[in-house]
Chain A
Amino acid sequence: MKIREKPLPMTVLAGFLGAGKTTVVNHLLRHAGGRRIMVLVNDFGELPIDEELIATKEENILTLANGCACCSMGGDLYAAFSAALDFIPPPDHLLIEASGVAEPKRIANFARAEPDLAMNGIVTVVDALNYENARSDARLSEILKNQIQTAHMLLLNKCDLVGSQDIERHKKALRKLNKSAPVLTISNGILAADIFFGIENPMPGSNPAAENEHHHSHESNFSRWSFKTEGAIDKTGLREILETLPSSVLRLKGIFKSLEDGQLWAVHKVGSYVDFSHLTTPDNFSGKTGFVAIGLSSSNLTEIMDKAFASLEE
């Protein structure tokens, strides 16, 4: 039973205390591009979110208190999620700023289980300055490792403050813990909203200007790839392809007709996470089917994607 008309996409922003989660949130709110974003704050240790960015604080920021289920009966979690889901006007996106000691997967599981939420990925911020230090604290090393391992995208923040050798060393360490998640090097929490929240409009053709054209975002060198297809697609084959794409493909979204059941399906991928869902209410659906991806432009995105999807069409 769905209570909302359309599931609310939810992204978990994880990362240890001081890694710069709030800076990322502030930047995303500033560059939300018309998206109505609801932020659920679970971390009270970082800098507060810029109040100017929030029309009325009470309305767009909810807080999620920590507590042991044995003492709160999970009441805090219940209250926070139901407030976000019942909020009027409904937000376009739910962003959870997880506490520095939270296991992001536990939070992300809400989105996977709740029909009115759509899981949009776990993004973990890692502090390039303090990473090694934090990892050496035995009381925290497991949780930090968990935050890195369960991420679908890793943001190595504060890269302007460390040398390139350090960045490479950290990247290597992160890849050792998580092979599938792309590692983006950023500074001051600056990251394109499309990369964080996913591609706004998955239907190629609805924005002709962007179609089949390399698009350079203002923050960094990301390119966009799109592919239009009317033909029915083998879902199992598609999953295999998506799961083997290199981590330089940051996000992918698409709508297609399934070969198995002839019905319309939506697919979205972030890092190693691939999610298929039935397109149940395609009332505003343009009729166009196809895929859009965003990736690192240094990686020859077009080549990679064209090659991957060529095998699909055979």
Chain B
Amino acid sequence: MSAITVFSAKKIITMNPARPTVTHVAVRDGKIIATGTIDDILGWGDYSLDDSFKEKVIMPGLVEGHCHLMAGGIWKFIYVGYQDRVDPDGNDWPGVKTLEDVQARLADAEAKLGPDEPLVAWGFDPIFLMDRRLDKTDLDAVSSSRPIAVMHSNFHLMTVNSTSLSLANYVADMDIEGIAIGPDGTPNGELQEMAAMFPIMRRLGINFREVGRSRESVIDFGKVCNRVGVTTAADLINDLPDEDVAEMTDITNGSDYPIRLMSLLNGLAQPAEETSARALELKKKCTDKLRLGAVKIVTDGSIQGFTARLRWPYHYNGAPNGIWNIAPEQLNELVAILNEAGVQMHIHTNGDEAIEVALDALEMAKIQKNRPDLIHVLQHCQMADRAQFRKMKRLGVAANLFANHLYYFGDKHYELTMGPDRALRMDACQSAIDYGVTFTIHSDAPVTPMAPLFTAWCAVNRLTESGRTLGEYEKITVAEALEAITLGAAATLQMDHEIGSIEVGKWADFAILEDDPETIGAEKLKDVGIWGTVLAGEKHKIP
């Protein structure tokens, strides 16, 4: 029989209502064998005591239920965002607060590049677009010979310099949507949407898919998770060809890889039957640390991009309704086929019409064949109203709410996209609780930074970037938010029998905290210090 290690801590928050807080947790073979006081544990036999966390607080390893591997790979490019960030290797990237800061950051990076390398930056914040927009002349000042591309934080816009423009022959007004024209009648460097950005990306070699699936990205992704206390994360869309699965298996098997990784198959890349067959095949390739077999389906676009599908009265500013990625009729078919086959679905739905259509599809599929073994999840689910939460409850459908939106895009939703009524109830965590809907909250990193305690802070305080409180009623308590980022997320990944709480039989996956999130105060939840994590009993201190 292998040895027992007992970790002691100032406080252990278990998420197990039968023993909510304890001082000791005993681990054997990577799993929790006992919790309680040292006396409670003694009966299990010999143990070695590890008291390195005696001044720290332990909680279940945090679970990020919706993010992307790109959150690791994106750091290959230069960060020019407004908020302070730390890269996977622990380097500080202070937020750039003015256009001059942006230029200085770029000039700095430019000086370190080889002669033929393009300069690519990411995370540029729309806050800079309030008065004067960044344009090619700002970037020409950084370099007039090296191609430069600055990706905006929403990934829908980029600004490039004159060298990049001429590479793509963007030298005159070609009357193409998405290529902005300056006062002199020539492209000013701002490019909108993929069609306009593609020629530049192709010539500069900015290939996000390759970046995201690269070995370094998967490794860096693990580091990003570790820094924020995450021990299980779901990569929400992937093509998952065999060679990538083999590589991901190899990387995650490494004892130094600090997380359990779930990766979802793109459900719109092949006919429904093929998706279903591939998902079932992938399910057989699961390991303790790599989870496969679930499918992602994208129905609409994004609210901030005005591409989400909204019900009447549509967009607050009168913008036309958004786009479908799959026709409702076709979704019905796909959902029915996957449900019947026993494949778990995570359905991207931002607008309330997309939510309605997805719920109708799930309802029909469940009438055809009830699969109580499956919990399907609406991802983002931002505009759901209370009737839709009641329907989710009725259908046994879970929600992963995009709480980070409250902070990052809440003002925009209040003023432009949804208007006050719907903005005040967006990402309605309290409604989910009211109706007993299984739910979690997410970052969608790299769209917004991964940090579940920040995401929890968003759900608890509902503060926007400008300081507005976005809907008093939908605020949840700290305890509820902590459950959402552990057990709640684990449930949406159908892993709540293995992770999400510190209970006998579950994996010994812990977040090791410097402060107590239960007592630090709701407004400071995002500031809880993180030492690192424990995965299956192994310590992973943030380097």
Contact = CB atoms under 8 A, between A and B. Distances in A.
* Highest count of chain B CB atoms <10 Å: which of A73, A76, A101, A109: A73
Contact of B268 (A44, A77, A106, A142): A44
B301 A70 contact: yes
Interface residues of A, number: 44
Contacts of A71: 68, 236-237, 296, 298, 348, 444, 447
Nearest to A119: B176
Contacts of B268: 44, 65-67
A163 to B, nearest CB: 26
Contact of A110 (B154, B174, B198): B198
29 contacts: A1-B167, A44-B269, A45-B327, A65-B269, A68-B307, A68-B325, A68-B348, A69-B156, A69-B305, A70-B155, A70-B305, A71-B296, A71-B348, A72-B209, A72-B298, A73-B208, A74-B155, A74-B208, A78-B207, A78-B209, A79-B209, A82-B202, A99-B327, A106-B193, A109-B195, A112-B174, A113-B199, A139-B353, A143-B323
B195 A110 contact: yes
A48 B321 CA distance: 31
A198 interface: no
- Which among B177, B212, B320, B323 has the highest number of chain A CB atoms within 10 Å? B323
Contact of B194 (A16, A74, A115): A74
Nearest to A86: B202
Given A63-B270, A82-B207, A139-B328, A69 B301 contact: yes
Nearest to A1: B167
Interface in B183-200: 193-199
Contacts of B447: 70-71
B298 A68 contact: yes
Interface in A88-116: 99-101, 103, 105-107, 109-110, 112-115
Please indicate which of the listed interface residues B195, B266, B269 has the most CB atoms of chain A within 10 Å of its own CB: B195
B168 A67 contact: no
Given A73-B212, A74-B194, A139-B328, A63 B269 contact: yes
A113 B209 contact: no
B251 interface: no
B300 interface: yes
Interface in B349-397: 353, 357
Interface string B295-324: 010101110010101000000000011011
Nearest to B73: A73
Contacts of B237: 67, 71-72
A74 B169 contact: no
A66 B203 CA distance: 23
Contact of B198 (A16, A63, A81): A81
Given A73-B68, A106-B193, 15 more contacts: A1-B166, A1-B169, A2-B169, A44-B272, A69-B156, A72-B208, A82-B207, A103-B323, A109-B176, A109-B177, A113-B176, A113-B198, A114-B199, A139-B324, A143-B323
A231 interface: no
B542 to A, nearest CB: 27
Given A68-B300, A101-B325, A78 B198 contact: yes
Interface in B480-504: none
A78 B302 CA distance: 19
A118 B372 CA distance: 52
B70 interface: yes
Contacts of A1: 166-169, 203
Nearest to B156: A69
Contact of A142 (B198, B320, B333): B320
Contacts of B197: 74
B481 to A, nearest CB: 23
A67 B325 contact: yes
Task: Sort A-B residue pairs by CB-CB distance and give the 6 closest, nearest first.
Answer: A75-B209, A65-B269, A109-B195, A66-B325, A101-B324, A73-B208
B169 A78 contact: no
Given A69-B156, A74-B208, A143 B201 contact: no
B49 to A, nearest CB: 45
A308 to B, nearest CB: 24
A234 B444 CA distance: 55
A126 to B, nearest CB: 15
A17 B330 contact: yes
A152 B201 CA distance: 28
Nearest to A17: B327
B271 interface: yes
A171 B268 CA distance: 33
Nearest to B199: A114
A312 interface: no
Contacts of B327: 16-17, 45, 99-101, 140
A137 B530 CA distance: 52
A45 B325 CA distance: 12
A142 B309 CA distance: 12
A67 B155 CA distance: 13
Instruction: From A16, A63, A66, A140, name the one whose CB has the most chain B CB atoms within 10 angstroms.
Output: A66
B42 interface: no
A73 B70 contact: yes
Contacts of B444: 70-71
Given A70-B301, A73-B212, A101-B326, A65 B194 contact: no
Nearest to A63: B269
B351 to A, nearest CB: 11
A185 B411 CA distance: 50
A115 B174 CA distance: 12
A121 B353 CA distance: 32
A48 B330 contact: no
B199 A48 contact: no
B338 to A, nearest CB: 13
Contacts of A106: 193, 195
Interface in B246-276: 266, 268-272
Contacts of B90: none
Contacts of A82: 202, 207
A78 B207 CA distance: 7
Interface in A226-264: none
A68 B301 contact: yes
Among the interface residues A69, A70, A78, A99, which one has the most CB atoms of the partner chain B within 10 A? Answer: A70
B178 interface: yes
Interface string A115-131: 10000000000000000
A142 B321 contact: yes
Contacts of A112: 174, 176, 195
A69 B201 contact: no
B160 interface: no
Contacts of B325: 66-68, 99, 101
A115 B172 CA distance: 13
A101 B199 CA distance: 25
Given A44-B272, A78-B194, A110-B195, A69 B155 contact: yes
A85 B302 CA distance: 29
A113 B178 contact: yes
A143 B324 contact: yes
Given A48-B271, A69-B156, A70-B301, A78 B266 contact: no
Nearest to A137: B328
Interface in B227-245: 236-237, 239
A148 to B, nearest CB: 16
